[in-house]
Amino acid sequence: MIYANNPKLKSWMDVPKGSDFPIQNLPFGIFKTRYLSAAAGVAIGDYVLDLVYLHEHGYLDGLDLPAGIFNQRFLNGFFALGKNKVREVRERVSELLRNDNDELRSNAGASEIALIPMTEVQMLKPVRVPNYTDFYSSEEHATNVGSMFRDPKNALLPNWKYLPVGYHGRASSIVVSGTPIQRPRGQIRPHPEEPPVFCPTHKLDFELEVAFITCRDTVLGQTIHTAEAEDYIVGFTLFNDWSARDIQQWEYAPLGPFLGKNFGSTMSPWVVTLDALEPFRVHGPKQNPHVLPYLAFEGKKNFDIILEVQIQPADAAEVVVCRTNFKYMYWNINQQLAHHTVNGCNIEVGDVYASGTVSGPSPGSYGSLLELSWNGEKALHMTDGSTRTFLADGDTVTIRGFAEKNNIRIGFGDCSGKILPPI
Ligand code: MN
């Protein structure tokens, strides 16, 4: 039983209607202020609750937390304490914020220092990411890409329904929401009969994804069964796997994505715990053919999370270009982690495992411009009268996501990045 998830809970903190961060969410992040270089915090409404302050002033006594565990640049050390400890901290924070609890509320001095308006903090990348893997687990996305570049009749490659296809991405260029992305240059081949040219990408794209974060190390040779995968997964962030389609298309054979992907990926700053998303579990699509035994699983392993992407041109209002749902994913996170480790590959605390582009069944639910514009054939209309097939300099792309039930909205906060002129 996770008490912090009770939909009846109310906080003495004012949480605006439609906020991503009601008392039932309580995601973890790293923030800095004018006075603090980096500290762990929890989001509540429009405020960040400073965990360093709570810890140092006895509000977390009894949880047996190591000294300085929240006074760090990344959440890795905290997450490495394990899911039970993370759960205990979330439950205790929930207790402190409940409207029937006076411990923090009645101490005006303490609550004033511990609760910092979000407008006064800068969110930092929440985890040090040792490894980043990107999957390709949306059947609709894989089908769309296969239809465009190969054969609509055989859009999925023969392996696709037998294993969660993935590749190893670049961890060093993962940035937090709000970090600008410079348009990359690279080799492209505009004319199939002529040699390639070196220039800024003409086909800069976003990929709407959700990433899970791991909280335990394994050793080489160790495997993780689907049934135990969630012991290793602490939570999710939103994720934009920016892509330069023209660079990608020329370079990808035979080893897959490289410079078309590794110039930058953006993660949202709040790690929403798997615990907070418990009420939003759903069954995934039926898997046919049957998967091999090591990929078999039981229970609801998909999550009903509404996702959308907005594009805002430099001097115009934003427009929603995609609405979809994380529940459509064919392969679930348990299967992804089981597959990733079935050969003995070791994982580390803070690893990022992105879902692959999340596309739904209808054209308005496609999670990339490649699909929305059908590789440039169909233009999207912006609010200023301009059109897009791919991203323009000055565009800001924002991914938003939330789960909602019983008027409780468990949101992620923005995953946003602005495109700057070429490097
Ligand atoms: Mn991707």
With cut-offs at 50, 70 and 90, classify the pLDDT of residue 1. Answer: confident
State the distance from the centre of ligand 1 to the C-alpha of 171, rounded, in angstroms: 13
State the distance from the centre of ligand 1 to the C-alpha of 352, rounded, in angstroms: 12
State the distance from the centre of ligand 1 to the C-alpha of 136, rounded, in angstroms: 7
Q: What is the pLDDT of residue 319?
A: 97
Residue 206 has pLDDT above 90, yes or no: yes
Residue 36 has pLDDT above 90, yes or no: no
CA distances (Å), origin 139, targets 54, 293, 303, 326, 385: 45, 21, 16, 12, 33
Residues in the chain, overall count: 423
List residues with catalytic annotation.
141
What is the pTM for the complete model shown?
0.98
Structure tokens at 90: 């979330």
State the distance from the centre of ligand 1 to the C-alpha of 163, rounded, in angstroms: 16
Element (H, E) at 146: helix 139-149
Quote the strand ranges of 313-382, DSSP E. Answer: 319-325, 352-354, 380-381
State the distance from the centre of ligand 1 to the C-alpha of 63, rounded, in angstroms: 38
Determine the Cα angle at 355 with ends 349 and 358, to 5°. 155
CB 413 within 8 A of CB 177: yes
State the distance from the centre of ligand 1 to the C-alpha of 249, rounded, in angstroms: 14
Q: Could you give the CA distance from residue 422 to residue 411 in angstroms, rounded to a whole number?
A: 33
Structure tokens at 74: 């990344």
Give me the CATH code for the 132-420 domain, please.
3.90.850.10
Q: What is the pLDDT of residue 423?
A: 81
State the distance from the centre of ligand 1 to the C-alpha of 59, rounded, in angstroms: 41
pLDDT in tens, 72-111: 999 999 999 999 999 999 999 999 999 999 999 999 999 9
CB 234 within 8 A of CB 271: yes
pLDDT in tens, 347-404: 999 999 999 999 999 999 999 999 999 999 999 999 999 999 999 999 999 999 999 9
State the distance from the centre of ligand 1 to the C-alpha of 254, rounded, in angstroms: 17
State the distance from the centre of ligand 1 to the C-alpha of 235, rounded, in angstroms: 19
Architecture of the structural domain at 3-124: Roll (2.30)
> ω before 192 within 30° of 0 (cis)?
no
Q: What is the pLDDT of residue 149?
A: 87
State the distance from the centre of ligand 1 to the C-alpha of 144, rounded, in angstroms: 14
- Cβ-proximal residues to 58 (8 Å cutoff; 6+ apart), any chain: none
Residue 24 has pLDDT above 90, yes or no: yes
Domain with CATH 2.30.30.230 in the chain: 3-124
Q: What is the pLDDT of residue 199?
A: 98
Determine the Cα angle at 128 with ends 112 and 120, to 5°. 25
With cut-offs at 50, 70 and 90, classify the pLDDT of residue 58. Answer: very high
